[in-house]
Structure 1
């Protein structure tokens, strides 16, 4: 599989497609989760994304499920050195049954405790890519980054990332890290897909922060910054009638883009989902899509997108629509 280096020239080399494991151990049972992980690695994938709060919002779930399932797979398959583990902290509720209103946040004690708990659930001694999952403006950047730098210095964490942070906040954090000689955020994770939402209408997922032209310009101008994208396939809305688009996508620009997407997919004998991923993978700047699936068959479809190449004219049509 195509490889990219994240976090600058000294960062790890990862697969251009990242496997998202949000439903593993909950709506996707362990046997199926293991089969998907096996197939991903067999196909050359090595970047696996999880979080310490997936999926706390489902009845009966705690947020342990995804990390624990990935950890059991790592132990069973003995593949820790073959994969790059990406996980997050900060968005785990502190009150069982509550939502992000009680999120743990980004204080120094949380940084330390959350990392220790993720390491235990994953059954490893290091997190290769560690994300601040949400913003927490009640805590200074110095406190959060100082605690994260300590984890890096101790060898428990490799690369640092900021998820759901606006570009200006990431730049502030990077400036703080530079002044103090600390490890810095070198990865950004936001929501991004081919269809673009209205920014005056809230997304149903209130915690999601969407990529803007400013973010693309920022990442493209910083050689050590990598952009990863979640919700890339809009929960199946490109191909499934039972997965309608939210109100944020109800605007005059959606229909023309969908029409061109389907035209290009037909020309390439590809699915719309494959074209969306190819559009992200080979754009400027290139994006590492996080692809979530619930079956090996779905994964095989998305893996084919890595080798899909858009002709310049096709890309121009997609961009112009």
Structure 2
């Protein structure tokens, strides 16, 4: 396994594996014995960066979420896991009532919600401190000053370490970080966005914003991370839910443009040369790129996880990267 540092403050920064394991479906679509086996294998391989959220996976149960955090708590206790494993969680997108969702009835990012939701996450995870806590989605009803101060208070109290943000407009991330810096408070250091090798169109409706771009690491967000070495980008859905390799899961209309087949062809060619799978090439491209990215992968079996783990040791040549980057 390979590792990198996230965070700048020596009191909170963490050394984490360059491949993160997503626990979104653990405890719902992925049963407990399978989830435990995947987690055990990940740690055995040197993995140290597990991701969840307080709203996972409410859509499977018709409830409010929390199943993934609860399962991770049981796993941590049963294995005696301590702070050697960095567990990241999120708040702000948990539905306030069963039968509702994050788009129409989210908990939001008020100071009250931040405190209460973080406390519930700590209880479910069975820990006194959240290693990394994200603002999951935007809350336009709350001033950034309140959100920044709410997160900073938990850091000051020692119940949260690093702060992160997901699915926000880039300018709003910068605004929140500016507010924090001006007040001498900790700000967001880890950014979690959807990012992969294939590039989606930005003129299609999406879940997070009308044009579909708010949760995607587009050019502006990538430039923002490139220009600030203190930021880390974590890429969720890097394998696009299996669409690179599964004929039964075709790409949607967001990838219906001329660049998609060209980049698919480049991927297949490089995979054949490297003796690797297409998925492994995608992950290696992300990990070793100009902007180092930590891919956040899901797994429904140990075998699926093993395929992703092998990508950590896949070194693409300069020529292969040039061809992948230049495919349009």
In which range does the TM-score fall when normalised by the shorter chain? over 0.9
Alignment equivalent of 1:270, drawn from 271, 276, 286: 276
Alpha-carbon distance between aligned partners in 1 of 2:232 and 2:16, rounded to the nearest angstrom: 11
For 1:75-154, list aligned pairs within 5 A.
75-100=77-102, 101-154=104-157
User: Which residue in the other structure is 2:51 paired with?
Assistant: 49
User: Which residue in the other structure is 1:223 paired with?
Assistant: 229
Alpha-carbon distance between aligned partners in 2 of 1:59 and 1:30, rounded to the nearest angstrom: 15
Change (3 A) 1:9 1:320: farther
User: Which residue in the other structure is 2:8 paired with?
Assistant: 8
Matched, 1:309 2:311: no
Q: Which moved more, 1:310-319 or 1:204-213?
A: 204-213
Alpha-carbon distance between aligned partners in 2 of 1:38 and 1:289, rounded to the nearest angstrom: 19
For 1:58-73, list aligned pairs within 5 A.
58-73=60-75
Change (3 A) 1:224 1:173: same
Unaligned ranges ≥5, structure 1: none
For 1:229-268, list aligned pairs within 5 A.
229-268=235-274
CA contact (8 A) 1:132 1:162 kept: yes
CA contact (8 A) 1:14 1:47 kept: yes
Alpha-carbon distance between aligned partners in 2 of 1:136 and 1:181, rounded to the nearest angstrom: 23
Alpha-carbon distance between aligned partners in 2 of 1:142 and 1:87, rounded to the nearest angstrom: 21
CA apart distance, 1:20: 0.3
Q: CA RMSD in A?
A: 1.2
Alpha-carbon distance between aligned partners in 2 of 1:247 and 1:185, rounded to the nearest angstrom: 33
User: SS of 1:135's equivalent?
Assistant: coil
Alpha-carbon distance between aligned partners in 2 of 1:316 and 1:204, rounded to the nearest angstrom: 32
User: SS of 1:102's equivalent?
Assistant: coil
CA contact (8 A) 2:208 2:215 kept: no
User: SS of 2:72's equivalent?
Assistant: helix
User: SS of 2:192's equivalent?
Assistant: strand
Alpha-carbon distance between aligned partners in 2 of 1:247 and 1:65, rounded to the nearest angstrom: 32
CA apart distance, 1:9: 6.1
Alignment equivalent of 2:179, drawn from 171, 176, 179: 176
Unaligned ranges ≥5, structure 2: none
User: Which residue in the other structure is 2:202 paired with?
Assistant: 199
CA apart distance, 1:59: 3.8
Q: Deviations over 1:94-135 (max 9, x none)?
A: 021111210000001000010000000000001101000001
CA apart distance, 1:204: 5.9
User: SS of 1:189's equivalent?
Assistant: strand
Structure 1-normalised TM-score? 0.98
